[in-house]
Structure 1
Amino acid sequence: MTKPKLWTKNFISISFSNLFLFLTFYILLVTLPSYALDELHSSSSMAGLMTTIFLLSAIISRPLAGQWLERAGNKKVLLTALIIFAAASLLYFLPKTIGGFFVIRLLHGVGFGMATTAVGTIVADIIPASRRGEGMGYFAMSTNLAMVFGPFIGLMAMHQWGAKPLFILSVIVAFCSLITGLIVKHNTFETPVQTKAHSSFSISSLFESSAVPISIVGSFMAIVYSALLSFVSIYASEIHLENIASLFFVVYAVLLLASRPFTGKWLDQYGPNVISFPCIVLFAIGMFILSQSNGAFTFLLSAGLIGIGWGTLFPTFQTIAIQDAEPRKRGLATATFLSIYDTGIALGSFIVGVIASKMEYSTLYCFFAFYILIGLILFYFLHTKRSSSAKEKTQHQTKAQEI
């Protein structure tokens, strides 16, 4: 039996749109705090708010975007979001005060939150159901590649050319996201517009309940990931490995890319449990090795194990969130997953920063190795056990109907 095609023009286009979207995000993420300190002469706390405001506006906008996807259709929400995102990128040239930058970061975050929700929903519609695990895994690589190359490109542009060329670069990349988003055919992924005249607003209507349990697991794990994003380079300097710190996420990405052809297929063939439990353990082992690193080999070995572990878990959890929802609720499920996940990143950055001031980074990362294993228990109760109970209930109902 011939497999349904995965690498279609639409899949490639939406993946590139996501790549450029996250490239813009990471280019500005690592450079704007420095710009605020050096050019706007703001305090460190005010510079840190650059990221906080962006993420908060993205988190708040996602549930609303999930509802709009149901009502207006994927194409309209995607293009609106990418236009807002690209337009906001043009505004960075204007403000001369930190307050002005906060307003732009707020607007930019709204576009980013809407766009990531729309893109995640669209790609789930494009990928054949029988290859969803594999396809979501390959799609997630666009985010991983942006995470590796975005900070490198942003810091190089800032140091070599200065702020204005950096902002020009971010505009170009943001518009590349819009252009590649336009290439995707309209009728391939358009969600039927809901025919209900009016539905009453409620907080519960902003979230897809079926996606909440696995989203909580993802958010729980994201706290560890935030500790890597924020402090692994500082930790590398602390253990006298600053000369190879930049290679951490490169090795992370290389091992992730090498494992992707297998892990995605295994997810489709054997289900999420077969993939998730070993990857959680690999993630924990990687964090433990990182905490004990005293040389380049162990430092980069930990990066590879974390790349396979966490790099596989994120798309797996997102796939679970989408598959557990009704087809018309995929947009809301995507929004729910990403909002709760990003809440973990935002809270983690703050919490880990507070904890890191009280203990050494090696101790912190060792603690997180055991923390991840608690996540294994959380995954079992919030997904595995719940899925088994739901399956048994369905089987009982089916037998009852046959009788």
Structure 2
Amino acid sequence: MMKKPLWTKDFLGISFISFFLFIGFYILLTALPLYVLDDLHGTEADVGLVTACFLISAVLCRPFTGKWINGIGRKKLLLISLCIFFISSFLYLLADSIPFLLALRFIHGIGFGVATTATGTIVADVIPDERKGEGLGYYALFMNIAMVAGPFTGLTIIRSFSFDALFILVAILALFGLLLSLIVKVPERKPLQKVREKLSFASFFEASAIPVAIVGGILAFAYSGILSFISVYATELGLLKAASYFFVVFAAFIILSRPFTGKWFDLYGSHKIIYPAIVIFAVGMFVLSQASGAFVFLLAGGLIGLGFGTLSPSLQTMAINRAAPEKRGLATSTFFTFFDSGFGISSYALGVVAAYMSIGSLYSILSVVILLTVIPYYFLCHYQGGRGTQQTDLSA
């Protein structure tokens, strides 16, 4: 039997919408700290608040998004969230004070949180069931490319032009995403029954996705140490020039491995992909902690890209596959709520810890944390599920 096509117009459309969302996010993540310090004359604490406001609003709205997806409809919710994201992106041109910027970041985070949850749900419906691992792996690749292109683009625009030019670019990218959403055909799923539902934990979180989401949150906690401290660490080592290529190597390893890892997930099952990926991620983090030259530093980037870049879409696939089709939106929002929470908690907690030890020592500890994640993964996602879970995860 021939496989159902993966690279359809709708799959590409949703993937590019995700790309435009994330490249705007990473451009601002890199550039706004400089804008706050230089143009708004803020402090380092203000920089932290600007980042935190965005993440907090994104995390807070995700559980509601999972509930809204079936109530409002996937297409309508996507359009609403992308409108919020676009308008917020445009309003950075008017952000001339810290309070205004903080309010704008909170609203922008809502648009981002709802839109990324919606796209993650829609793409799961667009991808053929027998190619879920492969399809979500390629979908994640668009986010990985944005993670590399965003910081590079942001810093280049700032050096060559101005912050106004950067904000205009971010608004244009958001507009591209909004326009694409108009031509993408979105599969809609009606709720099983139309009844008044009491507000409860189950109405905001998909129970079947929580074990996988917990593991994802732990790994996101560890990975956040890379995003938060890699430039500081590179400066300490005298490798600031090499730091600009860290995520390029990171993305290159993901791109080279993606055609294989996604297919292996579908063919051999989640466990045979996730255990090796956790080990590779842990080894990469330990290699980074021992780096003293550019080669080892960049090698660590490649290993971390291969490990974490495989884990993220694989765990998301597991969370979605465990849920009933009409609950995929709730499963997606549950996964990303825990995943983003791991990032948010780490941003603060690791900053406190880093004040008492070197960044290299911190990365050594994180490598152990990553390796120990095999324990909660085994008991929450592997042992508990038995053959039944393997069937659900396309792992039999």
Aligned to 2:12: 12
Alpha-carbon contact 1:69-1:191 (below 8 Å) kept: no
Q: Distance in 2 between matches of 1:382 and 1:349?
A: 25
Q: Distance in 1 between matches of 2:390 and 2:246?
A: 44
Amino acid at match of 1:384: H
Q: Is the Cα–Cα contact under 8 Å of residues 191 and 326 in structure 2 kept in the other structure?
A: no
Asked if 1:163 is matched to 2:150, the reply is: no
CA drift of 1:195 comes to 4.2
On the 8 A contact 1:71/1:194 being kept in 2, the answer is no
| Distance of aligned partners of 1:19 and 1:391 in 2 relative to their CA distance in 1, 3 Å threshold | closer
Partner of 2:23: 23
Matched, 1:360 2:387: no
Describe how 1:61-210 pairs up with structure 2 within 5 A: 61-186=61-186, 189-193=187-191, 195-210=193-208
1:67 aligned partner, one-letter code: K
Query: Which consecutive residues of structure 1, in runs of 5 or more, have no partner in the other structure?
Result: 395-403
> Corresponding residue for 2:36?
36
User: Aligned partners of 1:209 and 1:98: how far apart in 2?
Assistant: 39
- Return the offset for 1:333: 0.5
Aligned to 2:335: 337
C-alpha displacement of 1:296? 1.4
Q: Which amino acid aligns with 1:39?
A: D
SS of the residue 1:386 aligns to:
coil
Name the counterpart of 1:284.
282
Q: What pairs up with 1:204-243 in 2 under 5 angstroms?
A: 204-243=202-241
Mapping 1:255-270, distance limit 5 Å: 255-270=253-268
AA matched with 1:211: A
Quick one: distance in 2 between partners of 1:81 and 1:393?
A: 34
Displacement of 1:172 in angstroms is: 0.4
CA contact (8 A) 2:253 2:305 kept: yes
Residue number in structure 2 paired with 1:401? none
**Aligned partner of residue 68 in structure 1, secondary structure:** helix
CA deviation profile, 1:81-105 (whole Å, cap 9, x unmatched):
1011101111112232100111111
Give yes or no for contact 2:281–2:307 (8 Å, CA) kept in 1: yes
1:113-159 alpha-carbon deviations (Å, 9 max, x no partner): 10001000000000000000000000000110111010111111122
Deviation of 1:321 (Å): 0.5
Q: Distance in 2 between matches of 1:105 and 1:203?
A: 27
Distance 1:97 1:194, change over 3 A: farther
CA distance in structure 2 between the partners assigned to 1:193 and 1:24 by the alignment: 33
Task: Find the aligned partners of 1:391 and 1:149 in 2 and give their Cα distance.
Answer: 37
Paired AA for residue 272 in structure 2:
V
Q: CA RMSD in A?
A: 1.5
Q: Please, which moves more after superposition, 17-26 or 382-391?
A: 382-391
- TM-score, structure 2 normalization: 0.96
Letter in 1 for 2:116: T
C-alpha separation between the residues in 1 aligned to 2:152 and 2:383? 42
**Contact 1:287/1:302 (<8 A) preserved:** yes
The separation in 1 between residues aligned to 2:138 and 2:298, in whole angstroms, is 23
Which protein is bigger by CA-based radius of gyration? Answer: 1
Specify which of 293, 313, 316 is matched with residue 314 of structure 2: 316
| 199 and 273 in structure 1: CA distance in 2 versus 1, 3 angstrom threshold | same
1:252 aligned counterpart, secondary structure = helix
C-alpha distance in structure 1 between counterparts of 2:198 and 2:180, whole Å: 36
Q: Structure 1's 339 and 391: CA in aligned 2 closer, same or farther, altered over 3 A?
A: closer
Classify the secondary structure of the residue corresponding to 1:293: coil
1:364 counterpart letter in structure 2: L
1:51 aligned residue: 51
**Deviation (angstroms), 1:391:** 5.3
**Residues 329, 179 of structure 1: CA spacing in aligned structure 2 closer, same or farther, 3 A cutoff?**
same
Counterpart-to-counterpart distance in 2, 1:328 and 1:391: 19
Amino acid at match of 1:255: F
- Do 2:322 and 2:389's aligned partners in 1 also have CA atoms closer than 8 Å? no
Measure the CA separation in 2 of the matches of 1:374 and 1:289.
Answer: 17
- C-alpha distance in 1, partners of 2:37/2:358? 26
Cα deviation, residue 79, structure 1: 0.7
Is 311-320 or 380-389 further displaced after alignment?
A: 380-389
Aligned to 1:398: none
Q: Report if the CA contact (8 A) 1:24-1:173 is conserved.
A: yes
Q: Distance in 1 between matches of 2:363 and 2:19?
A: 29
Listed one character per residue, the Cα deviations across residues 346-367 of structure 1 (whole Å, up to 9, x for unaligned) are: 1111111111111111111111
Asked whether the equivalents of residues 72 and 193 of structure 1 are also in contact (C-alpha less than 8 Å), the reply is no
2: CA distance, partners of 1:354 / 1:115: 32
Could you tell me which amino acid in structure 1 is paired with residue 6 of structure 2? Answer: L
Cα-to-partner distance string for 1:297-339 (whole Å, 9 max, x where unaligned): 1111111111110100000000000000110000010001001
- Contact 2:285–2:364 (CA under 8 A) maintained in structure 1: yes
d(CA) in 2 for partners of 1:252 and 1:181?
A: 29
